[in-house]
């Protein structure tokens, strides 16, 4: 990506005459101001961040975000066969380019800009996690880890749910939420490893039809369906779901394959915790060293367990409750 590409994006955004009302949110204790220029992206931002709305007082926003619809260049990638390119920017920050669909920039001195092509405004991944990579880069600058994980809250205690894609994070998180536990995320969470706090990020979730049927969530309104067949659901309007902004992190739970003996809580040796957490890393330039330091801090401080999964979701939820009860609060 060249300076000319960045200048072209800035020119596109600066040419917008009217920005719609700002949304101010509080994420991980930081105030963010989001400006949108089109009703379609306004709905997108409301779906993702509406649950974090904040009444701005004397404090100043930590981060400014601009989101607009426009022409996205399609020739920025170093490898034409790649669908997504991640670039380190001169002077700090990152750019993420989804060819022909969206371009997002994080520049520490300016904020985050997202330009979405009109035909991509209803893209399922965009609907579920807009600006995930650039917000992860911003979080890293604020000593937070963006983690590919789920999390739930049990009586004021946070439990991080760990597993590779397809391991059952979304199903477990939503089964817990449907049973009355607090929802912090089903795929992405922010974690402060030093204060051991987990923060809710997106007010969305993605679920396969069979999981939705087992949980009893088929009545929830689906916003889109991704290429894998997962439905994107906005949870702010989902009956019976309690969205939580943050919780002290007390336990780590690795979701394991069904071993035929039913879901239950099993102690995980400390030597196996960091290898099990490899799947939580969000790939960003310069992120590996802080991620490794952060997960090592969590692995030393918190008890870790594994739960073999299955369709006896009441037993899965009971195992997560037990993990929270056995967790460590300092």
Arithmetic mean of pLDDT over the chain: 88
pLDDT at 6: 78
User: What is the torsional sign of CA 199, 205, 210, 216?
Assistant: positive
Average pLDDT over residues 48-58: 90
Q: Which residue has the higher pLDDT, 8 or 22?
A: 22
Digit-coded pLDDT (tens) for 266-311? 999 999 999 999 999 998 888 899 999 999 999 999 999 999 998 8
7 vs 18, 111, 285, CA distance in Å? 20, 15, 22
Reading the block at residue 81, the tokens are: 């066969």
Digit-coded pLDDT (tens) for 33-49? 999 988 888 888 999 99
Three-state secondary structure readout of the chain: CCHHHHHHHHHHHHCCCCCCCCEEEEECCEEEEEEECCHHHHHHHHHHHHHHECCCCCCCCCEEEEEEECCCCCCCCCCCCCCEEEEECCCCCEEEEECCCEEEEEECCCEEEEEECHHHCCCHHHHHCCCHHHHHHHHHHCCCEEECCEEEEECCEEEEEECCCCCCHHHHHHHHHHCCCEEEECCCEEEECCCCEEECCCCEEEECHHHHHHHCCCCCCEEEECCCCCEEEECCCCCCCEECCEEEEEEEEEEECCCCCCCCCEECCHHHHHHHHHHHCCCCCCCHHHHHHHHHHHHHHCCEEEEECCCCHHHHHHHHHHHHHCCCCC
CB 319 within 8 A of CB 325: no
CB 64 within 8 A of CB 106: no
Q: Which residue has the higher pLDDT, 324 or 73?
A: 324
Does residue 76 have a pLDDT over 70?
Answer: no
Q: Within its chain, how far is the Cα of 232 from the centroid? A: 13
Q: How far apart are CA 203 and CA 314, in angstroms?
A: 24
Q: Within its chain, how far is the Cα of 14 from the centroid? A: 29
Rg over alpha carbons for the chain, rounded to the nearest Å, is 20
What is the pTM assigned to this prediction?
A: 0.92
Reading the block at residue 253, the tokens are: 């739970």
Return the C-alpha torsion angle 90, 91, 93, 98, nearest 10: -20
- Lowest average pLDDT, out of 13-22, 112-121, 306-315, goes to 13-22
Average pLDDT over residues 3-13: 78
Sorted by where each starts, the structural domains of the chain and their CATH numbers stand as: 3-141 (no CATH), 145-325 (3.40.50)
């Amino acid at each position: 990506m060249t300076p000319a590409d960045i200048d072209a994006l800035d020119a596109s955004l600066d040419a917008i005459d009217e920005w719609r009302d700002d949304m101010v949110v509080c994420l991980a204790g930081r105030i963010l101001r989001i400006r949108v220029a089109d009703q379609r992206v306004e709905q997108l931002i409301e779906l993702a961040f509406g649950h974090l709305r904040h009444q701005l007082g004397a404090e100043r926003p930590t981060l400014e975000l601009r989101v607009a619809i426009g022409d996205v260049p399609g020739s920025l990638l170093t490898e034409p066969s790649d669908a997504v390119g991640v670039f380190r920017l001169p002077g700090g920050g990152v750019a993420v380019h989804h060819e022909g669909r969206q371009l997002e920039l994080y520049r520490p001195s300016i904020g985050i800009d997202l330009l979405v092509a009109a035909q991509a405004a209803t893209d399922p991944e965009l609907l579920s996690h807009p600006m995930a990579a650039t917000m992860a880069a911003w979080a890293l600058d604020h000593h937070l880890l963006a983690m590919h994980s789920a999390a739930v809250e049990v009586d004021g205690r946070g439990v991080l749910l760990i597993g590779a894609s397809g391991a059952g994070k979304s199903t477990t998180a939503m089964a817990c939420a449907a049973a009355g536990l607090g929802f912090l995320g089903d795929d992405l969470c922010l974690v402060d490893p030093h204060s051991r706090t987990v923060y809710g990020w997106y007010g969305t979730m993605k679920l396969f039809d069979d999981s939705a049927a087992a949980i009893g969530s088929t009545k929830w309104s689906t916003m889109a369906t991704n290429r894998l067949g997962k439905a994107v659901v906005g949870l702010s309007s989902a009956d019976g779901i309690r969205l939580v902004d943050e919780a002290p992190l007390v336990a780590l739970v690795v979701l394991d394959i069904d071993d035929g003996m039913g879901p239950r809580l099993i102690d995980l040796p400390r030597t196996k915790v960091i290898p099990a957490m490899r799947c939580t890393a969000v790939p960003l330039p310069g992120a590996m060293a802080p991620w490794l330091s952060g997960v090592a801090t969590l692995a030393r401080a918190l008890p870790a367990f594994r739960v073999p999964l299955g369709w006896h979701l009441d037993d899965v939820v009971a195992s997560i409750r037990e993990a929270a009860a056995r967790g460590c609060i300092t």
